Amino acid sequence: MEQAFPARSSDVVSSLRNYTVAKQEVASSVRAAKQLFEALGVQEAAGRCQALVVQLAEDRFNLAVVGQFKRGKSSLMNAVLGRNLLPTGLLPLTSAITTLCYGSKERVMINRQGFAWEQEVPLAQLEAYITERGNPGNEKGLVEARVELPLPFLRRGLHFIDTPGIGSARHENTATTYAFLPQMNAVIFVTSVEAPLSEAEEGFLIDIRGQVRQLFVVVNKIDVLGDTDREEVLDYIHTRVVQLLGKGNAYLSPLSARDGLNAKLNRDDTGIHQSGLAAFEQMLTTYLAEAQGRTFLVSILDHALRIVASVDPAQANDEIELPGSVFKLRQTMESLRESLLAGVPLSEVRIELEPAVAESHVIEQVIDASRSPARKPGGQAHVRTCLVCTAQGQALFAFFAKWQYRLATDTTAQHAFAANRGMCPIHTWQFQEMASPQGISNGYVPLIEAMAVELSHLIEQGAEHAAVPLAVLLADDTTCPACRLVRETAVEQIEQLLAYLVTVEGREVYASSTGLCLPHLQATLAHAEHSDDGPIERSVIAEFLLREQVLRLENLAEDLHSYSLKRDALRRGLLHQEEEYAWRHALVQLVGERAARGGAIVADQGTV
């Protein structure tokens, strides 16, 4: 079923992007909830959030057709599709879900209990699995039959779902339909004029009214009544639906699915309109074209809010670093939901942060948490690299490990990162080595969007003078949080080292270590010149450090010569460890450890 009024291609692209942006905001809140519940140890809630994340990722919209047995659910779906595809009959269908979705070719995929893989069967064999005649008592263990069809009506992730009838003699049918409720984004509820709104149907409407965002009520089989009786029945159904659900919560569509299908098969446009099917299809088409995305996101938030409400905030452990609180998550989700329901343009659906939040110390908190407990240089005597570089590498590893998690799941961290203009080029690529593509995709959205806004402002201010203000927008070593961590860690380690070298024990331990790289030796000597120690102590420490460095460099030069000689002589087996890695130690001496200077990042540096 084609859209009645297709938009211009540019409008479609813009609408899809706006929807994608809004979906990212919803996904961020759901992922944050999942991470929170995992930290709290509430695995059931975390699993339900993960199911919502999967649903968002699939962008699947479940439009379920529900109702009591023999109301014409399958007939209605056939009428919408314009073909006799789903079997109809006098017996209840099996207690399984039948899903129609888009596929490049017609086929049926069968999901059965106890089977690890789906089974593909011809469309002609569908009846053998989903009917009581072909699968009595569901003896084949059918869980779901997925019918893939190359129909534009289904292309945008729409799953048109036939559910087992409620209120039939088979209680498992009703149970299956109720169990599927959490996955329904919108519902077409089918009743008929023959026995309108039975007790079971009214009970079902009451049960789903708080769980389904959009409800269409179809009154089928109007062809069996005259005009007077038809109006009376429709008035009764309308009154009861309003009483049960409230005004504006459901669309009421009287029609004859049988007449509509026959008219479609005979290409009878007049008959399609007279059956009431055309009006229903127009309403459904408009909804799917204009409101599906918004309703889908609201439905996801509704499910997420119910999950959040089911968790007791008292379960939180203050010792666990959480991506947010239950209360904050609920506020975020409710704000997004209100924006979507209020009809706010999808391009403007955002998690609004107060200025104080955007300028929060979220990055500083991660930096502080990334610092390892202070250790004396003696505790690193075994490390085969610069002592200060080692501490910097360990701090960076801890920072990136914590930050990639926060940036991927915490919207506050994402906006703080954007306000900070990201990281310098060196640490950006160092961060990339630890972060996943998905984590980067999640965390960098606000920064990329903020940069786009700033560039737009530069255009307004005059593009010919944009070079200087653009330079201010780029992150460098003065704004990069990783650079700041490296600098602060170096100062802390140098101060500890100088305090330790005042003692005889400290100098003995340092002499047995690999000491410092030349850049950090220079920084240590500069720091010593301005220390509070007396001039004699400063002189002793400086001479000690320089003499130790000369000895190390001389030994390193010998190792380099020996390495080259033994390799040239094809005697690699004679190399000892210092010779084997002399080339690397030489580079570290000249420029510092790669993990502290923008190279590969590992948990424990320089153990060779």
> pLDDT tens digits, residue range 400-444?
888 888 888 787 888 888 888 999 998 898 888 888 888 888 889
In 3D, which of 174, 225, 232 has the Cα closest to residue 203?
174
Whether pLDDT at 352 is above 70:
no
Instruction: Give the C-alpha separation, 598 to 186, whole Å.
Output: 51
**How far is CA 173 from each of CA 82, 136, 169, 177, rounded to the nearest angstrom?**
26, 13, 9, 6
Domains delineated in the chain: 1-59+292-347 (1.20.120), 68-275 (3.40.50.300), 363-444+476-608 (no CATH)
| Residue type, position 279, single letter | A
Summarize the confidence of residues 350-358 as an average pLDDT: 45
Instruction: Read off the pLDDT band of 3 (50, 70, 90).
Output: very low
Instruction: Read off the pLDDT band of 351 (50, 70, 90).
Output: low
* Tokens read off for 149: 């069809």
pLDDT for the residue 358: 39
pLDDT for the residue 109: 92
Say which DSSP state 162 is in.
Answer: E
Instruction: Read off the pLDDT band of 278 (50, 70, 90).
Output: very high
pLDDT for the residue 397: 86
Whether pLDDT at 273 is above 90:
yes
Whether pLDDT at 11 is above 50:
no
Q: Tell me which range, 7-21, 124-138, 260-274, 301-315, is most confidently predicted by mean pLDDT.
A: 260-274
| Residues paired with residue 187 on neighbouring β-strands, in sequence order | 64, 215
Whether pLDDT at 452 is above 80:
yes
CB 591 within 8 A of CB 597: yes
Instruction: Read off the pLDDT band of 514 (50, 70, 90).
Output: confident
In this predicted structure, which of 38-52, 67-81, 237-251 has the lowest mean pLDDT? 237-251
Instruction: Read off the pLDDT band of 1 (50, 70, 90).
Output: very low
Instruction: Give the C-alpha separation, 540 to 501, whole Å.
Output: 10
Q: What is the dihedral of CA 261, 263, 267, 273, to 10 degrees?
A: -110
Secondary structure element (H or E) that encloses residue 55, with its range: helix 43-58
- What is the dihedral sign for C-alpha 155, 157, 158, 163? positive
In this predicted structure, which of 34-38, 318-322, 336-340, 517-521 has the lowest mean pLDDT? 318-322
Average pLDDT of the chain to the nearest whole number:
80
pLDDT for the residue 79: 93
Higher pLDDT among residues 324 and 590, named by residue: 590
> pLDDT tens digits, residue range 216-236?
999 999 998 888 888 899 999
pLDDT for the residue 605: 43
* Tokens read off for 80: 């919408």
> pLDDT tens digits, residue range 103-160?
878 999 999 988 888 899 999 899 888 887 888 878 888 888 999 998 877 876 788 9
Whether pLDDT at 317 is above 70:
no
Q: Tell me which range, 160-164, 254-258, 328-332, 526-530, is most confidently predicted by mean pLDDT.
A: 254-258
pLDDT for the residue 93: 62
pLDDT for the residue 214: 81
Whether pLDDT at 321 is above 60:
no
- Sheet containing 97-102: give its strands across: 119-121, 107-112, 142-149, 97-102, 158-162, 61-67, 186-192, 214-220, 250-254
The distance from CA 387 to its chain's CA centroid, rounded to whole angstroms, is 39
| Residue type, position 110, single letter | I
- What is the dihedral sign for C-alpha 109, 112, 116, 119? negative
In 3D, which of 299, 258, 260 has the Cα closest to residue 280?
260
Higher pLDDT among residues 352 and 57, named by residue: 57
What Rg, from alpha-carbon coordinates, does the chain have?
A: 34
Higher pLDDT among residues 253 and 351, named by residue: 253
Summarize the confidence of residues 364-380 as an average pLDDT: 59
Instruction: Read off the pLDDT band of 379 (50, 70, 90).
Output: very low
The share of the chain scoring above pLDDT 90, in percent, equals 15
Say which DSSP state 92 is in.
Answer: P
pLDDT for the residue 348: 73
End-to-end CA distance of the chain: 67
* Tokens read off for 294: 């918004």
Whether pLDDT at 374 is above 60:
no
| Residues paired with residue 588 on neighbouring β-strands, in sequence order | none
- Other beta carbons within 10 angstroms of residue 375's beta carbon come to 14
Instruction: Read off the pLDDT band of 173 (50, 70, 90).
Output: low
Task: Give the CA angle between residues 583, 584, 590 to the nearest 5°.
Answer: 95
Whether pLDDT at 31 is above 80:
yes
Instruction: Give the C-alpha separation, 520 to 385, whole Å.
Output: 12
Whether pLDDT at 544 is above 70:
yes
pLDDT for the residue 316: 47
Higher pLDDT among residues 323 and 423, named by residue: 423
| Residue type, position 180, single letter | F
Instruction: Give the C-alpha separation, 595 to 561, whole Å.
Output: 26
Close Cβ partners of 280 (under 8 Å, ≥ 6 residues apart): 216, 218, 253, 255
* Tokens read off for 13: 């692209």
pLDDT for the residue 430: 85
pLDDT for the residue 293: 79
pLDDT for the residue 463: 83
pLDDT for the residue 174: 72
pLDDT for the residue 248: 63
| Residue type, position 224, single letter | V
DSSP for 367-385 reads HHHHSPPP--GGGGTT-SS
Q: What is the pTM of this model?
A: 0.53
Close Cβ partners of 359 (under 8 Å, ≥ 6 residues apart): 416, 419
Whether pLDDT at 322 is above 60:
no
Summarize the confidence of residues 463-478 as an average pLDDT: 87
CB 100 within 8 A of CB 81: yes
